[in-house]
Amino acid sequence: MKGEWGHLGTNPAAAWYHAETQNAGAMTPLQHLQKWAQSGSISSAQFDTIAPVVRKDRFSVFVELNALLYLGVISFVAGLGWTIQTYFAHLGDAAVLTGLTVLLAGSLYYTFSQASAFSPGQVESPNMVFDYVLYLACLVFAAEIAYIESRFNLLQERRDYYLLFSAVLYFISAYRFDNRFVLSLALSTLAGWFGVKVSAFHAIATEPLRIAAVAYGILIAGAGFLISIRDIKKHFLDTYLHVAANVVFIAFVSGVLEQWFYSVGLIVLAIVSIYAGVHFRRFAFVVYGTVYGYIGMSSRLLHQVSDTTTTLLYLIVSGTAVIVLLVTLARRLRKEE
């Protein structure tokens, strides 16, 4: 020891610094992390996040794979639709319908053969691709129905019943196979049926469509609550509420420049959404209330402003304030959890 530190003389500070440097050099990255966690330099949550990376543990790519599968299904069906539209004259109706029917039958066979028994509670998928095969079957069914009607005009003026029938079928599939993708598809298809029915009676007037959108939002939110309190797929309630909130908010935002009561309704709805989101720890609804409220009120305020500089300055300052507010609320909710 004397030989090692002899050149440091009798200076204790220099000896201590040399020892710490030597010890630090011998420490592994994981030991450094543990030391920082013990000293409070990093939180336990930060340690838990960084440590697996340092240890080179396996990490989950579940979200990424699900996103790729979802995009893959959408891209496949889009490509299928483009192929049919481009080459149906050469392929012929029989070939197109046979191909779509075989693909639909194969998807349904796989779905029913792999599905678990029905349960009113949440049921885990038997494997990773199950949900996407079911989603593919629904989209292929929609493509086949659209092709049949476009080629043969079976229902003609009553073609909106295709949407209603498809929505009912999607709802049944969503609850039978516990699939939120298909539930979202059912809700959007039902929304399309609402829009078609209203347009048929009121041409292209925006006010009836706006009222129909609000009625649709209230209807599906109420249906979601009623089904949930009966203990049937209670975890589906969030999907109902997300769709309903977006539809109703969009309807109110679209009307703020036309009728004063839409502005008042938007403010009330935004306050309720933010309060409920904070109270029930659903940050998405905080975002809905804040963003839609900001868009609607900004449209109202800037409607009479013609100066470009003032408009840009307002958007920069207010937009930054909204982002800071959302980040602050997100951190607060995360800490309280």
List, as one string, the DSSP characters of 53-84. HHTT-----HHHHHHHHHHHHHHHHHHHHHHH
Scanning the structure block, which residue is given the tokens 């004259």?
89
Q: How far is residue 60's CA from residue 279's CA, in Å, rounded to a whole number?
A: 30
**What is the pTM assigned to this prediction?**
0.75
Identify the pLDDT of residue 87.
81
Domain boundaries, the chain: 2-54, 60-202
Identify the pLDDT of residue 127.
86
Residue 323 sits at the vertex; the CA angle it makes with 322 and 329, to the nearest 5 degrees, is: 90
The per-residue pLDDT string of the chain (337 residues; one tens digit each, 9 = 90 and over) reads: 444 444 444 555 444 444 444 454 556 776 777 777 777 777 777 777 776 666 655 555 556 677 777 788 888 888 888 888 888 778 888 889 999 999 999 999 999 999 989 999 998 888 888 999 999 999 999 999 989 888 888 877 777 888 899 999 999 999 999 999 899 999 999 988 887 666 555 444 578 788 888 999 999 999 999 999 999 999 999 999 999 999 999 999 999 988 888 999 999 999 999 999 988 888 999 999 999 999 999 998 988 888 888 889 999 999 999 999 898 888 887 776 5
Q: How far is residue 239's CA from residue 224's CA, in Å, rounded to a whole number?
A: 9
Closest by CA to 29, choosing from 47, 4, 12, is 47
List, as one string, the DSSP characters of 247-314. HHHHHHHHHTTT-HHHHHHHHHHHHHHHHHHHHTT-HHHHHHHHHHHHHHHHHHHHTT---HHHHHHH
Query: Torsion angle of alpha carbons 188, 189, 190, 191, nearest 10°?
Result: 50
Tell me the one-letter amino acid at 193: W
33 contacts 99 by C-beta, under 8 angstroms = no
